[in-house]
Every structure is written in C-alpha cells, then in structure tokens.
Amino acid sequence: MGKGGMSQGEGSKVEEENMSAWLVGPHDVRVRMKAVGICGSDVHYLKTMRCADFIGHECAGVIEEVRR
C-alpha cells in the first residue's frame, strides 16, 4: 500500500520498507500520506528504541475515506 521509514532498533539505520494498509473501522479516517517528517522527538526515540518500529509523525496527506 505504501512505504515507511523502519528502524530495527538501537544502533540501526532507518530503511525504507513496504507497509500494508490498516483496516478502517467505525469512526476512522483513511489518509494517503504525501509527506512525513522526522522531528527531534523521533531522533531521540531512534537513539533509545529497542525494537523495530516505523518513525515519523509530522505528516501531510489527503483524506481518502471517512467512516461514520
């Protein structure tokens, strides 16, 4: 469905990986991300994280689906 920046944990570099779309449930909104930034809190998290995770939470996108 898309790509994301994935880190495998402490000391590893951030690599681009494929991501699947999450299911949209009641009262959810699906947003197609156009850009995602990494801020200071992400950099701090990268230095201390212990498991694999997608990073970045400063984002801009287009609403594709709204569930009511």
Query: What are the boundaries of each domain within the chain?
Result: 2-66
Instruction: Compute the distance between CA of residue 4 and CA of residue 16 in angstroms, rounded to an integer.
Output: 6
Stretches where the chain sits below pLDDT 50 are none
With tokens 């494929």, the residue in question is: 18
Q: What integer pLDDT is reported at residue 61 of this predicted model?
A: 92
Structure letter (DSSP) for residue 9: S
Q: What is the pLDDT of residue 39?
A: 81
What is the spatial distance between Cα 7 and Cα 66, in angstroms, rounded to a whole number? 30
> b vs e for 55-66, b when ≥16 Cβ sit within 10 Å of the residue's Cβ?
beeeeeeeeeee
Q: What is the pLDDT of residue 62?
A: 95
Residue 66 has φ and ψ, to the nearest 5°, of -125, 125
